[in-house]
């Protein structure tokens, strides 16, 4: 399945404790902003960050960006209050709640039920607010199929590489980077596992952060790997990474043009005037129904990116 949802090529992390960054994020060309109450916010700053996030959402000015709040994970004492304060305070101006360190479908079901309660209490449309589930440890990955399908609200399944690497004792301190001692790509299995679960349930698959924020070439290299597999976007931690993410997760102009050509040629070939053919030549390439589906993926991503 092709998961075409809201554009999420670049998902900008904005600490809820920083009024300056909350303000600046409104002017940046990221497809999504997620206002963070979790790891970018110190424990003592969490109550104030909730209030900042509610005010920032209600003040508006986010344009067409997808507006998300990341709450704290369910092993902490903060999660329920994060959800209640943010959704009661700004539910009408919020698109999704991101839940980190999800380990089983029950976490998503808890959030779904809690959101439903708040929506009913406030008279908001029930089910409009989506859920983004972060996979950040072995339990999350092993249960990812059930997590992705745990609620119709789930819009994205997200790889959280920093927490994930720590949780499985991966021997590296460079998030997303290749490990010289290992001859392959240590993330391939994890990314594919997440992608399969996401696609089985028609969700978007999102790659996590790259922490070397000044190394935009390094960011691009890591992003290209997940984009090639089919991921829809990646987190960005710094304005300098946004342009690279938007570019890498959009098809190239050549691929987009070629996809449109395949769609046109195949539509013609299969039509009455084209002779109702099922497989035809386009230049040196043979195209059939499967080619049409592959072309549709590229064309849909390109159209969503405004090509
Ligand atoms: C993101 O939350 C990560 O842990 O990489
Ligand atoms: Mg994390």
Q: Say if 2 falls within a structural domain.
A: no
CA–CA gap between residue 44 and residue 254 (Å, rounded): 51
Contact assessment for residue 10 and residue 242, using Cβ atoms and an 8 Å cutoff: yes
Same domain as 238, residue 259: no
Confidence of residue 98 (pLDDT cuts 50, 70, 90): very high
Task: Specify the range with the lowest mean pLDDT, choosing from 49-53, 73-77, 164-168, 300-304.
Answer: 300-304
**Which of 249, 264, 294 is the endpoint of a domain?**
249
| Domain span at 56 | 10-249
pLDDT for 259 beyond 60: yes
Q: What is the ipTM of this complex?
A: 0.99
Contact assessment for residue 30 and residue 68, using Cβ atoms and an 8 Å cutoff: no
Model confidence pLDDT, tens digit, residues 180-239 = 899 999 999 999 999 999 999 999 999 999 999 999 999 999 999 999 999 999 999 999
pTM of the model: 0.93
Give the per-residue pLDDT at 3.
Answer: 52
Give the per-residue pLDDT at 2.
Answer: 46
Same domain as 222, residue 301: no
Give the per-residue pLDDT at 63.
Answer: 95
Q: Say if 98 falls within a structural domain.
A: yes
Same domain as 262, residue 204: no
The overall average pLDDT reported for the chain is 94
Same domain as 124, residue 108: yes
Q: Say if 1 falls within a structural domain.
A: no
Q: Which residue has the tokens 């991966």?
A: 170
Same domain as 290, residue 206: no
125: annotated binding-site residue? no
pLDDT for 115 beyond 60: yes
Q: Which residue has the tokens 């609200």?
A: 153
Find the 168 Cα to ligand 2 centroid distance in Å: 13
**Token output for 58:** 């209600």
Q: Say if 4 falls within a structural domain.
A: no
Report the DSSP beta bridge partners of residue 130.
Answer: 96
- Measured by CA distance, the residue closest to atom 1 of ligand 1 is 160
Residue 123's Cα: distance from chain center in Å?
A: 28
Q: Identify the H or E element spanning 35.
A: strand 32-36
Same domain as 210, residue 95: yes
CB 208 near ligand 1, within 6 Å: yes
For the chain, the domain total comes to 2
Model confidence pLDDT, tens digit, residues 49-76 = 999 999 999 999 999 999 999 999 999 9
**Token output for 265:** 């040629």
Pocket test for ligand 1, best of 137, 209, 213, 222 (most atoms within 8 A of CB): 209
pLDDT for 24 beyond 90: yes
Tell me the CATH number at 235: 3.20.20.60
CB 209 near ligand 1, within 6 Å: yes
Confidence of residue 5 (pLDDT cuts 50, 70, 90): confident
**Which of 249, 270, 295 is the endpoint of a domain?**
249
Q: Which atom of ligand 1 is nearest to the CA of 164?
A: 4
The more confidently predicted of residues 278 and 212 is 212
């Amino acid at each position: 399945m092709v998961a075409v949802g809201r554009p999420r090529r670049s998902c900008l992390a904005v600490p809820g404790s920083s009024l300056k960054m909350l303000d600046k994020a409104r002017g940046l060309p990221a497809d999504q902003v997620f206002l963070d109450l979790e790891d970018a916010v110190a424990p003592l700053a969490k109550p104030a960050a909730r209030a900042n996030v509610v005010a920032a959402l209600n003040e508006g000015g986010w344009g067409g960006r997808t507006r998300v709040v990341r709450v704290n994970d369910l092993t902490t004492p903060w999660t329920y209050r994060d959800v209640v304060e943010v959704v009661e305070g700004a539910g009408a101006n919020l698109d999704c709640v991101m839940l980190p360190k999800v380990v089983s479908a029950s976490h998503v079901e808890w959030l779904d039920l809690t959101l439903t309660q708040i929506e009913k209490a406030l008279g908001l449309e029930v089910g409009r607010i989506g859920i983004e589930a972060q996979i950040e440890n072995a339990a999350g990955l092993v249960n990812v199929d059930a997590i992705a399908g745990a609620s119709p609200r789930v819009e994205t399944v997200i790889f959280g590489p920093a927490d994930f690497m720590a949780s499985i004792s991966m021997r590296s301190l460079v998030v997303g980077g290749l490990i010289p001692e290992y001859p392959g790509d240590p993330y391939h299995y994890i990314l594919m596992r997440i992608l399969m679960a996401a696609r089985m349930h028609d969700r978007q698959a999102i790659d996590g952060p790259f922490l070397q924020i000044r190394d935009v070439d390094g960011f691009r290299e890591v992003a290209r790997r997940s984009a090639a597999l089919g991921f829809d976007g990646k987190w960005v931690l710094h304005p300098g990474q946004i342009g690279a993410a938007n570019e890498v997760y959009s098809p190239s102009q050549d691929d987009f043009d070629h996809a449109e050509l395949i769609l046109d040629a195949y539509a013609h070939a299969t039509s009455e005037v084209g002779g109702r053919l099922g497989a035809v030549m386009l230049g040196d390439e043979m195209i059939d129904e499967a080619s049409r589906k592959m072309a549709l993926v590229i064309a849909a991503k390109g159209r969503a990116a405004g090509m």
